[in-house]
Structure 1
Amino acid sequence: MGQVFQFKQFAVDQNNVPMRINTDGVLLGATAGFQQGGAYHGTAVNPESMDILDIGTGTGVIALMLAQRFEQANVCGVEIDELAAETAGMNFKQSPFKDRMQLVHGDIFHWQTELQFDLIVSNPPFYLNSLHNPDQRKKVAKHTDDTFFKGMIKFASERLKADGQIQLIVPIEMEQFLKDEAIKHGLEWNGQCNIRSFEDSDSFRCIISFARKANQPKTEEFIIYKGRGIYSDAYNHLLEPFFLAF
């Protein structure tokens, strides 16, 4: 993708950001905030007024998509990388949602805040125990260990409102680890959406949700392609409000 990605209602400058816009991010941005597993339909959490947090906001694309979808929401993005934070902050300020958006540069685990959130989202680094990227900024953006996820679940247990939820997009292999960790911090599995490239392929990602109290959780499926290079009708429908090509 180019340095600036133009959406229907906003633009995202990707200069100086180690993690560019990707499929994982836009799927989370287009689906997060639903009661049922983070899938692409369902009942939105507090649709009239929400406080949303995007952990590791990167370019800010997920936060911007959520600001577009929830017209009265206040959206905060936290980013540890200084240059990425500057870029995301600029993207926020140049968007039509700028009055409802905030950028915090820092480490989420050292962020001193009393804010409570209806929805916490993250497209986190998830290459655990793998060969690290020699580029230090990309290493931070892409690689982590289980301590990071333990800290994120703990943070959510402390900062979610009573009816709030956290939704993460992660490799399907992390499902059970996250469920076990959530239980330790008083959070319940609130459903998930398993993502497959094709109808006959295995799930490789899931958008998984946890809440203080589950609301009829279930597992749903989402298929990206109906053929090589041809997006599924579900994908087209989901991203149509955002992508100029649809």
Structure 2
Amino acid sequence: MRWTRHLAVATLALSVTACTTSPTGRQQLTLMSDAQLNEMGREAYSQYQQELPPASQAEQRYVQCVADAIVAALPERERHQDWQIRAFESEQANAFALPGGYMGVNTGLLDIAENQDQLASVIGHEIGHVLASHANERVSTQTSTQLALSVLSSASGLQGPGGEQLMSALGLGAQYGILLPFSRRHESEADVIGLQLMADAGFDPRASIALWENMSAQSGGQPPAWMSTHPSHGQRMEGLQARMDEAMGRYEQAQQAGRRPSCPRP
């Protein structure tokens, strides 16, 4: 059919012009430039700073200490990025990292992360999102999905109530079959990268399991994993445990190299 050819050509064009590889070797679709993403990250970070008050100086020093130890262990190119991290006063247990190296940790998360190693698990995970260009991939996937649906709608003549109903169903299929799984894949990949980063910096990677045990105890019911943007707590712990032997080897090498962070918890 003619519309299938249009769809194939559009998809192929995007794939050929914007195919990259993540730190774990996974193929990615990345349509945006670093400059565009960094500007978006800067604007989002500025807005976050306006909406939430800063944490105490002691909490800021603690978060900065852990982040500095992880950044110091990054490869040279990533290490020299202008990483900026702030602690924010908020009960919501949340942390984030944005393109451009902007990071934030809410004080609510410090109540769940009981020590520097557990906090390092969170910060390593967030830095992993940046290193893997997940923001670029997520925006690119949404853009290409919308383009494909638009081409399908116009080329196949799907107008009227019946056509609208079919396009709505296709939209749901894209949401649950493409966009959400991509997000879950990103979370799992950031877990793996973060586990490696914290171990390379000299933080005990076993604390990542303890962190998610704390998260699980603090949270209420979760939606089914297939309807969530994140894997379940159990899935995350299983994924981390599967990589633990490798992480422990990296941790022991870091310890032998003298990487022994000491970040007092306030």
TM-score interval for Structure 1 and Structure 2 normalised by the shorter chain? under 0.3
Per the normalisation by structure 2, the TM-score is: 0.25
Per the normalisation by structure 1, the TM-score is: 0.27
- Larger fraction in helix: 2
- Larger fraction in strand: 1
